[in-house]
């Protein structure tokens, strides 16, 4: 799947199975993520993308296989313990606390770090306000009165004040106007510039492939194809994702654009 399997990945899923009740959704998911990169999981509805993210976060228990993070087996670890280990989560729909101010939302995101290392929390809070000036300007504004793009910035910043090594982002462009989606991409690149590794699930394939460095394509609860975006087979990606002619041309153009930035990529 593109580059060789990583010897020491920041995140690794090995044969992960999961589901709900009598239904199995994940049938053996394998993927590995290197520290510092931005990767994405893509697939049709029902492929198992969001369930994979929830298993990584510890929200849905794995029925089999292994989840390793930062050199530790976290397969049975509680979500809050994964956060303490360095895992942040931006859920689908952003889910900010609408009745709380921007700063109160950020305080909740960093509550464990605040207790463990107040100086580091203060440093990160200052960094968030510097990186996202709109949050500094509106630190006392209720989150529920902010625009979708502003809430997206707050959701990412709230996860970052927990001092994560890895940020899980579920459908970052969902429900946002097209004009705001590019801003969301900028926000996530800002997070990566801070040294945070990012794994996202995204239905907007053109946006997602333009943002990530590596892609995993899922079908029926398994990763069936993947690799560096610049090296992907454009036709195969479009076929696996079942995109129509118009979207297919957009996907191919995005992959081709990434390829021109990486002349060593395979053709």
Residue 113 lies in a domain: no
Per residue in 77-125, pLDDT (tens digit) is 999 899 889 999 888 777 899 999 999 999 999 988 899 899 999 999 9
CATH of the domain at 183: 3.40.50.300
Q: How far is CA 259 from CA 2, 41, 201, 266, in A?
A: 14, 19, 22, 8
- Residue 15: pLDDT over 90: yes
Per residue in 170-228, pLDDT (tens digit) is 988 887 788 778 888 888 888 898 889 999 999 888 899 999 999 999 999 999 999 99
Structurally, how many domains does the chain consist of? 1
- In the three-class reduction of DSSP (H, G, I as helix; E, B as strand; rest coil), residue 263 is classed as coil
* Whether the Cβ atoms of residue 75 and residue 14 lie closer than 8 Å to each other: no
Residue 222 lies in a domain: yes
Q: What DSSP assignment string belongs to 164-211?
A: -SEEEEE-TTTT--HHHHHHHHHHHHHHHHTT-EEEEE-S-HHHHHHH
Using alpha carbons, select from 50, 46, 52 the residue that is nearest to residue 67: 52
Residue 115 lies in a domain: no
pLDDT band at residue 5, thresholds of 50, 70 and 90? very low
Confidence (pTM): 0.84
Question: What pLDDT is recorded for position 261?
Answer: 58
Q: Cα dihedral angle (265, 258, 223, 35), rounded to 10 degrees?
A: 90
Q: Cα angle at 131 between 159 and 37, to 5 degrees?
A: 60
What is the C-alpha to C-alpha distance for residues 110 and 130, in angstroms, rounded to an integer?
Answer: 17
Top-confidence residue, 240 or 5: 240
Mean pLDDT of the chain: 88
Using alpha carbons, select from 137, 217, 151, 140 the residue that is nearest to residue 184: 151
Residue 138 lies in a domain: no
Residue 198 lies in a domain: yes
Question: How many residues comprise the chain?
Answer: 267
* Whether the Cβ atoms of residue 208 and residue 258 lie closer than 8 Å to each other: no
Per residue in 17-30, pLDDT (tens digit) is 999 999 999 999 99
Residue 116 lies in a domain: no
Residue 129 lies in a domain: no
Phi and psi at 139, nearest 5°, equal -60, -25
| Buried-exposed string 111-140: b where 16+ CB fall within 10 A, e elsewhere | eebbeeeeeebeebbeebbebbebbeebbe
Residue 225 lies in a domain: yes
Q: In which domain, by residue range, is 51 found?
A: 11-92+165-261
């Amino acid at each position: 799947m593109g580059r060789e399997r990583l010897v020491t990945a920041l995140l690794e899923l090995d044969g992960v199975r999961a589901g709900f009740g009598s239904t199995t959704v994940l049938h053996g998911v394998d993927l590995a993520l290197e520290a510092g990169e931005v990767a994405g999981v893509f697939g049709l509805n029902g492929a198992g993308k969001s369930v994979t993210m929830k298993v990584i976060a510890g929200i849905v228990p794995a029925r089999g296989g292994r989840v390793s993070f930062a050199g530790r087996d976290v397969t049975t670890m509680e979500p809050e313990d994964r956060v303490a280990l360095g895992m942040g989560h931006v859920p689908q729909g952003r889910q900010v606390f609408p009745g709380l101010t921007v700063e109160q939302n950020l305080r909740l995101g960093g509550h464990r770090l605040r207790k463990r290392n107040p100086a580091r929390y203060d440093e990160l809070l200052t960094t968030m306000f510097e990186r996202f000036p709109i949050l500094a300007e509106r630190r006392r504004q209720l989150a529920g009165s902010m625009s979708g793009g502003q809430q997206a910035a707050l959701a990412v910043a709230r996860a970052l004040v927990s001092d994560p090594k890895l940020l899980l982002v579920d459908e970052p462009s969902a429900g946002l106007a097209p004009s705001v989606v590019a801003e969301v991409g900028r926000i996530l690149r800002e997070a990566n510039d801070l040294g945070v590794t990012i794994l996202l699930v995204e239905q907007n394939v053109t946006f997602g492939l333009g943002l990530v460095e590596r892609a995993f394509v899922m079908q029926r609860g398994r990763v069936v194809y993947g690799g560096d975006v610049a090296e992907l087979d454009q036709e195969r990606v479009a076929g696996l994702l079942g995109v129509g002619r118009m979207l297919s041309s957009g996907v191919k153009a995005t992959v081709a654009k990434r390829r021109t930035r990486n002349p060593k990529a395979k053709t």
